[in-house]
A and B are shown apart, each in its own frame.
Chain A
């Protein structure tokens, strides 16, 4: 099946810093989403981005489907950005299941 690799696995930042999280996938995808899992365990949808670039406030994401990667940018990080960021994809070919990466654990210190 498709492999979803996220890097880095852990990231520690000072408040106000910028960061880039990466997601590589091993096959063509129909769907790609970025999620933030907060300290209470909730999965918050950040972006639905199978291709192209989107921005939402301090967050933006870019997916280059032909090169099989996606990037999540966090600017001017805040302590509330802490948590685990997951990339998840569905493959072309009929399966509807989302395959998740192992996530990037982000800690933003005050």
Chain B
């Protein structure tokens, strides 16, 4: 079964540093997403991306965050000037669009120290 691949699985970074989280969505999917889950809390939507542009973003997704699809396969989330509260599990997901469901990657656990 096709998978969404995320790298790295774990990342530890110093506060104030920039991190890039990488995702390879399923090849025939058109919609791409990032979600975040702070430890012990529910999964929260960050941003959706379609046709090479952001289609929707949440209040969490401020100027500290950016997304990019640098080539035909990768989808990245950049977090600038990381803060302690950015520590979370970050999930990438992709979809063919309605009426199909979403497939999530295994997540990147980001720890900001």
Contacts and interface: CB of A to CB of B under 8 A. Distances in A.
Contacts of B37: 41
A88 B98 contact: no
B contact patch SS: strand
Contacts, number: 60
A51 B85 CA distance: 37
Interface string A73-110: 00000000000001010100001111111110000000
A30 B99 contact: yes
A contact patch SS: strand
A28 interface: no
Given A35-B104, A43-B43, A43-B104, A96 B99 contact: no
B58 A97 contact: yes
A79 to B, nearest CB: 21
Interface residues on chain A, size class: 20 to 34
Contacts of A42: 106-107
A60 to B, nearest CB: 17
B109 interface: yes
Q: Which A-B residue pairs are the 3 nearest by beta carbons?
A: A48-B101, A97-B45, A43-B104
Given A30-B99, A31-B102, A35-B104, 9 more contacts: A43-B91, A88-B43, A96-B33, A96-B95, A96-B98, A97-B45, A97-B48, A97-B58, A100-B44
